[in-house]
Structure 1
Amino acid sequence: MPSLPPIPRAYRVVAFFLRPLLFAITRRDWQGTQNLPDRGFIAVANHVTEIDPVTLAHFLYDQGRAPKITAKASLWKVPVLGGILTRTGMIPVHRGTAGAAQSLVDSTTQLERGECVVFFPEGTLTRDPDGWPMVGKTGVARLALTSRAPVVPIGQWGAEQLLAPYGKVFKPIPPKRVAVHAGTPVDLSDLYDRPHDTATLREATERIMAAITAQVEQIRGEEAPAERFDMRKNPGSEKHR
């Protein structure tokens, strides 16, 4: 069995301080860990609140992975946080600039090293009124089809009780149940050799979002809306709720 990539020292230092806090303020429902490959893979998840990248990283770290999370490049300008993101190997995304493609290059390099790269395909916090996954962007589909790395769909729910979407008040007491469930890799093999045009990328993206949504449905014990929320059809939703 291939050995997992070593966890960088900076990552272990951050985890040393964060994990005891997370153990204290959450009641964890981790499921589907057997679906995580022992080689480089793409983890794709829904995005409900600003804190769920931390709880998702906790889930993956507990399985021996030091996930490399893609995040908006502006976070690297925040004092202290920018240095932590760099030292732990996180991947900046330069949206709407000439450097936008660099995140895919960086992600490919990490996958080739056997790392776990995390994407939130929605590109921002969901604007669905009930918190369901919305229409995804095609960047992760492009990476998946070019790299042919496994794509593991992950549903998560509960972190929004710690910090509401766009909220300012952190509510660690009492401890909150945080569920993170990983599904089997999304089958995109029939799309690998097709032209990676808009139609193919959208098909791959919808398969990815459907797989994520299925995990969220399992956690919540209810069905998602038949039609996925689309920010392009709801321009007012660009504003913070």
Structure 2
Amino acid sequence: MRSLSGPEKRKPSMFWVLASLTLPAWSLMVRYRFTPNSKLPKTGPFILAPNHFSEIDPIAMGAAVWHLGRVPRFLAKESLFKIPVFGWMLRKSGQIPVERAGAVMRSTGLDNPLSSASKLIESQGGVIVYPEGTLTRDPDLWPMRGKSGAVRLALESGIPLIPAAHWGTQELMPRYGKSIRPFPRKTIEVAIGDPMDMSEFRDRHIDQRLINEATTKLMNEITKLLEGLRGEKAPPERWDPSKHQQNETGRF
């Protein structure tokens, strides 16, 4: 697929520099195969929620978003923005600072969602949020139980929430791997779903029950996309790290 153009990509930014430095080498290692209906909104804010099973996923999905005509952004710890030079690059490339707050961050995957949403709306940009919060623990790399950050951000802001899935980065860098395997060239398959229908959650009080329902729906949508890419069905029960830890503890 040829890289798409768009008004956001045409606007001069730090990403011009980053893309020119990284994409030529990345393209030698990776080719993309997008499903036919994969697309992102041409303008306006969005939240992209993909699966996560390799440390190199952010680069893979960032490049995919760039190929689809938008500028990729991520949520980054606020402390990183204080690092000389690196912090300046984060700001200039539109990354979004998030102040992480212990238990709140661990339970949701995202602290202060309204602050993050206001930055997205102000910039009219998109952000990639991994709803699992970390690499999946599922032995076969299926999505595990999600955290509530992406859903909470969408519900409290009204920004479109778009499920996504990709497959193939594990060939470039295995889960928990420390080095990449660039040759032979790898194919990364990407599926971008339609914005999730949130109508059933509107006009309801945003409490933990609603958040859990919406998060389950999001993870189901991501899993369906991944099933299409892999050509197989996911296990009927989603991997739950807390239950697995309890089972492991019970063995001793």
TM-score scaled by structure 1? 0.87
Aligned partner of 1:19 in structure 2 is: 23
Contact kept? 1:8, 1:88, Cα under 8 Å: no
**Alignment equivalent of 1:123, drawn from 121, 129, 133:** 133
Distance in structure 1 (CA, Å) of the matches to 2:79 and 2:230: 33
CA 1:73–1:178: 2 relative to 1, 3 Å: farther
Deviation at 1:87, TM superposition (A): 2.7
| Runs (5+) with no aligned partner, structure 2 | 1-5, 106-110, 248-252
Deviation at 1:115, TM superposition (A): 0.8
CA 1:137–1:99: 2 relative to 1, 3 Å: closer
Aligned partner of 1:45 in structure 2 is: 50
Deviation at 1:10, TM superposition (A): 1.0
Aligned partner of 1:151 in structure 2 is: 161
SS at 1:234's partner residue? Answer: helix
Aligned partner of 1:58 in structure 2 is: 63
Contact kept? 1:92, 1:103, Cα under 8 Å: no
Which residue type is aligned with residue 145 of structure 1? L
Contact kept? 1:29, 1:179, Cα under 8 Å: yes
Distance in structure 1 (CA, Å) of the matches to 2:140 and 2:84: 34
Identity of aligned residues (%): 39
Who wins on radius of gyration, i.e. which is larger? 2
Deviation at 1:234, TM superposition (A): 2.2
Deviation at 1:162, TM superposition (A): 1.0
* Aligned-residue CA RMSD (Å): 2.6
**Alignment equivalent of 1:30, drawn from 34, 40, 45:** 34
**Alignment equivalent of 1:114, drawn from 120, 124, 127:** 124
Aligned partner of 1:197 in structure 2 is: 207
| Runs (5+) with no aligned partner, structure 1 | none
Contact kept? 2:8, 2:71, Cα under 8 Å: no
SS at 1:19's partner residue? Answer: helix
Aligned partner of 1:140 in structure 2 is: 150
Distance in structure 2 (CA, Å) of the matches to 1:147 and 1:213: 24
